[in-house]
Every structure is written in structure tokens, then in C-alpha cells.
Amino acid sequence: PQAIFRKDYVAPGYWVDTVEMGFDLDLDATHVATRLTMRRNPDSAEKDLVLFGAELKTLQLRLNGVNLKKSAYTIDGETMRIPNAPDEVVLEIETLIKPSKNTSLSGLYASNGNFITQCEAEGFRKITWFPDRPDVMAKYTVVLRADKKKFPVLLGNGNLIEQGDLGDGRHFAKWEDPFKKPSYLFALVAGSLVCQEEQYKLGSGREVLLQVWVEKGNLDKTQHAMDSLKNSIRWDEERFGLELDLDRFMIVATSDFNMGAMENKGLNIFNTKYVLANPSIATDVDYAGIESVVGHEYFHNWTGNRVTCRDWFQLSLKEGLTVFRDQEFSADLVGTSTGRAVKRIEDVRVLRQVQFSEDAGPMAHPVRPDSFVEINNFYTVTIYEKGSEVVRMYYTLLGHEGFRKGMDLYFARHDGQAVECDDFRAAMSDANGRDLTQFERWYSQAGTPRVDVQTHYDAAAQTFEITLSQSCPATPGQTEKLPFHIPVAMGLLNSAGQDMPLHCEGYEAQAGVNSLVLELTAASQTFRFTQVTEQPVASLLRNFSAPVVLNISYSDEELGLLLAHDSDPFNRWEAGQRLATRRLVRLTQAVQAGEPLELDSMFIEALRATLNNDTLDPAFRELVLTLPSEAMIAEEFEVVDPQAIHTARQFARAQISQHLRADLLSAYEQHLTPGKFSPDAVSMAKRSLKNLALSYLLEWVDESTFELAKTQFYDAENMTDRLAALAGISNFRGQPQQQKVAAKALQHFYKEFKKEALVIDKWFMLQATAHTTDVAKVRELMTHKAFTLGNPNRARSLTFNFCNANPAQFHATDGSGYALWAELVIALNKINPQVAARLARSLDRWKKYPLHLQEKMRAALEKVAATKKLSKDVAEVVTKALA
Ligand code: HT7
Ligand code: ZN
């Protein structure tokens, strides 16, 4: 497949001022009439009028009132070129599309008999011919016409300006969006839907209408999304001075959606997973997910919609910034400083586990890529999560006020424009009078930088030196890397674990401030501290101030001190993870060598002290007590042995269970949350620690804890407790009689929730990730009547979870997991290339496995690569993996 390059950007030959569209909605054949007023862009090197279209039946093309003859244009793939067009053009286009046949869920498609659109990134071209690129911004007026009974609700972007009957059982609605927007933000929804609505008063006093639209029967699950929306509106006003610019803001939930949600102007469309919640179907994690995704899409209204991307290489301009904003929103809502740290730790865990892995694999790319084959493959953790870390580094370097000044200047300069990542950096730099030239490398260089640390204490001179040396591994197409501008937040701890005053040469000392942001800009730099009265322990990269790997050799005692005392909660947690990782690596090596396994008491006692420390937030304790995942342990090895890692980690869990049994039982009992369910931070924290205690207790085979889990499962009144108990029961290594109880519980769960699609997704997910679920079991589950590859949520719940989150079984030595993977990718490729390409990524890191597994993975990759009619989405992923 053909790659396109950032360096080849050419401004559009024509601008579009207005777009008028009429839709005659019919599931089998929708007629679309479009009228574009266009004018030549005198500043462009492109002289032709260029439009894009895909899978369209074109009925009519008229330019300035005259039918376009076939000889007047050329079509090559998705690109139509009209040469010699006048400077001012009115283009009228009629197309016919087939929503019910559209299984790719891009463009206009059908979901449970309703019409839904998804236009980002290039779905608008499946509706009509258009200069479908984000730098072409226009004003849209749209008329929707449809059967009134089947499609009583007709929604579009912006404001509803007219509606009425058409007389023949059909009706219409006319929507006008007052703001210029790129075509990827276009949306329509039509069908049988109901809504929860509310008038909401903005900070300025203006009243707006908020609506959450769902299918019938789901109105009891919309309150949390509505609350999250109101919180988002208030937060953006307070934190960034950004007000909702429309009179109406709508959210629509659909169960057929490729991603989490979409920020279409005034008409956000969501995967049901990020809207629907009540205590009996949604877990605490779901509640938190809804809050952050509702926030994320709402925040796009300014960062993405009002100021958009010049081209898709700039995707992180909107996505990285908006992820940063949604992370800050969720952290601010919790309010407490440990609450913020808990959120930060959760976010960093995802970054390290998924993005660091992407950065070390064949799909590694810079935050602002230089090329791609299929843009849909670049909605990645690098663009989103690493992009957010890049934005967070401005925040760390410039401070709260400085960052806000930068944001204000960004909007003052670019409101209504389509811009580049460099424009954001320039705003941050200019607003603060700071030279951020070198910072550009965070956008242009892929790979996770390493920072090696050497320290030296001179007791006589009372000086302490920290030498930081940075490097960055080669990534595809980038062998040499230049030094990054890395903010390293830090402090020094004395032997009692207290922060010491900081006097660093070249940095101004601030009374009472015991944390400093060092700026590492050279390949190697030494920072010298004076008046250091005793040998300190350095706490570096506090709050994970940069997305790097920090190599520092701490002793167990130093880590113990940091875990017990660091004033930075992130580094407290980090110290615990370092202690755990060290042990899990050793245990894995022991498993491989057939040596006896042992877990030392220093580690167990450190965990016991944390577990029993009632001054600590239970959510924080839960994070410290959670061992690094198997995927994280795998990153410590040159060659990964998934089964040995699994055995080692399970051994450690069983040891913790055995030695902390009494403490775990008491933690369980102390953190019960009787009474009405509430998804507030305090109750969630209690549930998380209680359920972690339960999962540990179940690692040590014991009748009474099994009974505890069984009782929790049958008595629970909320999904968090119920699912945690079910997961525990189904992973229990007990007698056949207990396995029967587990099978019965699973059946019971299915029966109770068979009408709740999102809960059945959990039912598949839980089985996909169970230790005992092998390839044969997955194949059996795929024949279950509730399973289908046609629905992305359902496909992901079983197959993605097995391939990505059950490594010891997926990497079965006979290669059966890879054969299943190949079959699934090939099957999905026909239905939904975007989803297929996501699953294709499961073999990205195949070169990290032993040769006998590598051979089988290569064969599976080659099988997919050789498939006829392979989409460019899947082709790009497997070609890069095999390169
Ligand atoms: N901006 C949205 C991206 C998105 C998307 C992209 C490709 C294919 C389907 C899609 N659905 C949504 C989501 C977001 O970041 O807010
Ligand atoms: Zn986004």
C-alpha cells in the first residue's frame, strides 16, 4: 500500500464556504443532495478542484449549473480532479448510499435500525464527494427527511431551525451549524430514540439545552453521563475560561461503534459503553470511564473543533491536548492530592504498558508522524497518551499560570483555524517568553528515552551530584536521536524520609519548596546540590514528569524508605513497583531454571505496612499492592517467556495471600460499603481495596474465602462487587466441586443479564482473561449464540481480550493462539477493517519471543499478509510487523 507523507502537504486548491445537504433517509438506499459554494485558494500550488469519494453511487454532478461531462474530470481511487474550474464554483452533487450494507461503521450506517454517522477521519467521503480534509472548514445547513414512524427523531449538528411534516408519512428537520467546521465533524442521527434532557445555566447566565439520547429501555442509565457533561461544562469554564458556544449540546449512544466516542459539533456520538450506567450494570471503572470520555468529547469542542488540525499528521494537536484536559478534569473532580496521584498512577500504568510497548515495536511513530498508509491506524496510544504527556511537560515546565497563558494565546491566535503542533508550541513559548525550540523533538522523534542516573555524595563538602544521561533507542526509519528537553521533577530525602531543603547550582532556591524541576537538555548533565547535610536518597521524576525510562540503582532499603515516606505519592508507588519488579524478574528466572521459588519477608512486610496504613487512601493502597502486570514484567526481558512470567507472578500472589491472610481479611471487612451504591471517589476507593483483598485471599486455596466470594457474588447489589467476586470464583484453583460452583455462577450471571449487551461483554471478557481459558475454550465461546464478530464491543470482549490480556494462554507453545488470531483478523477484515487492524496489532512484538514461537507468529502474519482483498488498514500493520 501507498504511504502519504507530511512533507508533501499542499494547501487545498479550493475553499468551501457553505455546504447545503438534503438527506432522504432510507436504510437500503439513502439519497444525498449536496450543494457546495467554493472559491479558489490563491495561495495554493494545487490548481485543480480536488474532491474525495468512496463507495458512492454518483447520480449527478453539476458545476455552476451545468452537468459535468465524464471528460471534464478524472477519478483515481478515491480522488476526483476537476481541472480548469473557474475561481468561483457552485457544485451540486447527488449520491446514493447503502447504510444497511455498511459494516465498516464509517460513513452513514445502520445500528439497530437507526441511522448513525462516523466521519472522522475520512468517513464523510462515503456520504458525498467533498474536499474531505480537515483544513477545509465550512458552514453546514442540513435537511433530514425520513419516515416519521420508523425515524421519529432526526438530529444534526448545531441548532434545529425548522421541522415539520412532509405529508406522506414522512417528516423533516433542518439543522444549521453556526460554526465553520471540517467535514470530519459532520454528524447525523435518525431513528427511534428517547432522551433525558435538562436546561443548564452557563457561568455567563446563558441557558443551554443538554440532551442524552439512547434507545428505548435505557433511560434509567443516563444520569451519570448527564452529570459528567454538566461537570465538564463547569470545569472548562473554571479551569480554562472556555464556554459552550452552542444553544444545544447532544450526546447519542449507539451499541455499534468502532471507538469510544466522537466529538461531532454539538452532536457527540458515543459507544454505549461510555454512556450507559446504573449500579446494577456498570462497575466503578465504567463510571470513571464515562466521566472521562464525556469530558474528553466535550473538551474537544474547543481543542479540536474551534481550533482543528491542518492535516492528519497533526492529530495529536487535538488528541494529546484533549487527553491532557480530560485527565486533569478527572483529577480535579477527585480534588484530594492522593486522589490526583491515584489518577496519575492509573494513567501512567496505561502509558507504560501500552505506549512504551508501541514505541518499542514495528509501529513506533513520532507524536507527529511523518507518514502513514491508513490514518485510522494512527489513532494510537502514542498520539493520544504520549501526546498528552508532551502537553503535560509544558505544564510542568511553565507552571499552572504559564500553561494557562499559553492556552489563552493559542485560542486568541487560532480560533476558527486548522493549525499544526508547531503553532501550539509557539503559543506556549511566546506567551511565556521561553525558548522551546528543542522541545520540538518530542514531536519529531519516536521511541522512549532512557535516562541513566549516577549520584555522588561528598560528605566533607556537603555536596550531592546527580548526573543524568539520556539516550533513545532506534525506531523504524530513525536510527539517530538528538537529546530531548526533559523536565525531571525531584526532591532529596533524608534518612528519616523527610524532604531536604534544595540548593541546586543554577536554580533559584525557594523557601519551603522542597521539590524542583531540573531541565535535562544535553546528552549528559550534572546537577550539583550544596548544603546537603547527610547522604540523601534522590526521588527523581516525581509525578512522572516526563515519559521516559529512568534507570537508577536503588538498594532495597532506599526503595523501602521511598515507599514509606516520599512526599510525592507517585514515587512512593513507583518504589513499591521497583521492589516488586525486581522480585518478579528473579522469580521468573527461577521458574525457567527449575529452581525453588521464594519471596522474601522484606517485600511482604513492606506490603503489609502499606495495607495496614489507615492514613493512606485505600485506592492508593490498592495500587501499591497490585503487582506489575505480566505485560510489564515481560518488558524487563530481552526474550519473553509468558508462561514462566505467569507462574512467577501467580506464585508471588499466592505468597502474599498466605502471609497477609489476616491483614487481607481485615482490610476486606473494614472496607465494606453497605447501603446505597454511590460512585463517589471515597466509596470507589473502598471497593477497590476490598476487592483486591478478596482476589488475593482467593489465591490461597481455602474453603472459607471461596464462600466469602460466593456470598459476595450472590448478595452484591452493584456490578463492581459482583464482577470482582465472579472473576475471583472463576479463577479459583479449587476442587471440582468449586469449579461447578464457578460454572453455575457464570451461568446465573448470563441468565440475569442476557438483555444487557454491555454486561454480556463483561461475561465474555471475564472468561477470555481467565487463567484456565485456552484456545479451545475461546473457540467454544465463539459458537455461543450471543457472540458475533459483527459488533465491535462483542468482538473485542472475547477475542481482543484473549489475544492481548491472557498472554500465557495466547502464546501456547503449539501456536494455536496465533492460528486463531490469523483466522479472526482475516474474518474481521471482510466485516470491519478498522477493527481487524486493531486486532492485527496483537502480534506487533513477535520478535521479542523465543525462536520457536517467532516462527509460528511469522507464519500467522504471513498468512494474513497473503490474504486476498486485504484492506489497507490490515496490510499496513502486518507489512510493518514483517519488515
Ligand atoms: N476523535 C475521535 C476519533 C474517532 C475515530 C477515529 C477513527 C475511526 C473511528 C473513530 N471514532 C472516533 C475520538 C476522540 O478521540 O475523541
Ligand atoms: Zn479525542
CB-based pocket (< 6 A), ligand 1: 118, 120-121, 258-259, 261-263, 296-297, 300, 319, 376, 379, 834
Residue 511: per-residue pLDDT: 83
Residue 303: per-residue pLDDT: 99
Ligand 1 pocket: which of 105, 108, 120, 257 to mutate (most atoms within 8 A of CB)? 120
Q: What is the mean pLDDT of the chain?
A: 98
Mean pLDDT of 831-849: 98
Cα distances (Å, whole numbers) of residue 478 to 312, 444, 857:
21, 10, 25
Residue 735: per-residue pLDDT: 86
Mean pLDDT of 693-709: 93
Report if residue 155 sits inside a domain: yes
> Measuring from atom 3 of ligand 1, which residue has the nearest CA?
262
Q: How far is the CA of 192 from the centre of ligand 2 (A)?
A: 27
Residues 6 or more apart whose CB falls under 8 angstroms from that of 66 comprise none
Residue 510 has pLDDT above 90, yes or no: no
Task: Provide the residue range defining the domain that includes 140.
Answer: 1-191
Residue 509: per-residue pLDDT: 79
CATH number of the domain that residue 146 is part of: 2.60.40.1730
Residue 217: per-residue pLDDT: 97
Place of cell 500500500: 1
Last residue of one domain, picked from the residues 159, 191, 223: 191
Distance CA 160, CA 143 (A): 10
> Measuring from atom 10 of ligand 1, which residue has the nearest CA?
259
> Measuring from atom 6 of ligand 1, which residue has the nearest CA?
120
Kindly state the helix (H) or strand (E) to which residue 331 belongs, with its residue range.
helix 315-334
Report if residue 69 sits inside a domain: yes
Distance CA 769, CA 806 (A): 5
pLDDT tens string 418-433: 999 999 999 999 999 9
Q: How far is the CA of 263 from the centre of ligand 2 (A)?
A: 7
Residue 881 has pLDDT above 80, yes or no: yes
Residue 733 has pLDDT above 90, yes or no: no
Residues 6 or more apart whose CB falls under 8 angstroms from that of 71 comprise none
Report if residue 742 sits inside a domain: no
> Measuring from atom 1 of ligand 1, which residue has the nearest CA?
262
Q: How far is the CA of 298 from the centre of ligand 2 (A)?
A: 9
Q: Which atom of ligand 1 is nearest to the CA of 304?
A: 1
Q: How confident is the model at residue 512 (pLDDT cuts 50, 70, 90)?
A: confident
Mean pLDDT of 792-811: 98
Residue 516 has pLDDT above 90, yes or no: yes
Report if residue 266 sits inside a domain: no
Report if residue 796 sits inside a domain: yes
Mean pLDDT of 269-286: 98
Mean pLDDT of 825-831: 98
Closest ligand relative to 119 C-alpha: 1
Q: What one-character-per-residue DSSP string does 756-784 give?
A: -HHHHHHHHHHHHTSTT--HHHHHHHHTS
User: 450 near 549, Cβ under 8 Å?
Assistant: yes
Q: How far is the CA of 440 from the centre of ligand 1 (A)?
A: 25
Q: How confident is the model at residue 683 (pLDDT cuts 50, 70, 90)?
A: very high
Closest ligand relative to 379 C-alpha: 1
Closest ligand relative to 261 C-alpha: 1
Q: How confident is the model at residue 759 (pLDDT cuts 50, 70, 90)?
A: very high
How far is it between the farthest Cα atoms of the chain? 95
Report if residue 878 sits inside a domain: yes
Report H helices in 205-279. 223-240
Report if residue 729 sits inside a domain: no
CA 839 from centre of chain: 15
Q: Which atom of ligand 1 is nearest to the CA of 263?
A: 16
Which DSSP letter does residue 426 get?
A: H
Which DSSP letter does residue 368 get?
A: S
Q: What one-character-per-residue DSSP string does 263-287 give?
A: --TTEEEEEGGGT---TTT--HHHH
Closest ligand relative to 120 C-alpha: 1
Residue 589 has pLDDT above 90, yes or no: yes
Q: How far is the CA of 620 from the centre of ligand 2 (A)?
A: 28
Place of cell 531540573: 518
Distance CA 425, CA 398 (A): 12
- Compute how many other C-beta atoms are within 10 angstroms of the C-beta atom of residue 455: 19
Place of cell 511553565: 398
Residue 513: per-residue pLDDT: 84
Number of H-type helices and E-type strands within the chain: 29, 31
CATH number of the domain that residue 803 is part of: 1.25.50.10
Place of cell 467554493: 38
Residue 225: per-residue pLDDT: 98
Q: How confident is the model at residue 726 (pLDDT cuts 50, 70, 90)?
A: very high
Residue 702: per-residue pLDDT: 85
Last residue of one domain, picked from the residues 151, 171, 191: 191
Residue 156 has pLDDT above 90, yes or no: yes
Ligand 1 pocket: which of 122, 265, 379 to mutate (most atoms within 8 A of CB)? 379
Mean pLDDT of 289-308: 99
Residue 777 has pLDDT above 90, yes or no: yes
Residue 595 has pLDDT above 90, yes or no: yes
Report if residue 260 sits inside a domain: no
Residue 258 has pLDDT above 90, yes or no: yes
Three cell numbers, residue 325: 484536559
Question: Going by DSSP bridges, is the β-strand pair 74-76/79-82 parallel, antiparallel, or unpaired?
Answer: antiparallel
Residue 1 has pLDDT above 80, yes or no: no
pLDDT tens string 305-348: 999 999 999 999 999 999 999 999 999 999 899 999 999 999 99
pLDDT tens string 159-197: 999 999 999 999 999 999 999 999 999 999 999 999 999
What are the residue numbers of the active site? 297
The answer to whether the complex's ipTM is over 0.85 is yes
Q: Which atom of ligand 1 is nearest to the CA of 123?
A: 8
Distance CA 327, CA 500 (A): 30
Query: How many CA atoms, within 13 angstroms, populate the side-chain half-sphere of residue 365?
Result: 27
Residue 204: what residue type? S
pLDDT tens string 12-49: 999 999 999 999 999 999 999 999 999 999 999 999 99
Q: How confident is the model at residue 638 (pLDDT cuts 50, 70, 90)?
A: very high
Last residue of one domain, picked from the residues 130, 163, 191: 191
Domain count, the chain: 2
Report H helices in 566-641. 569-593, 601-611, 618-625, 630-634
Residue 335: per-residue pLDDT: 86
Three cell numbers, residue 643: 508462561
Q: How far is the CA of 189 from the centre of ligand 1 (A)?
A: 17
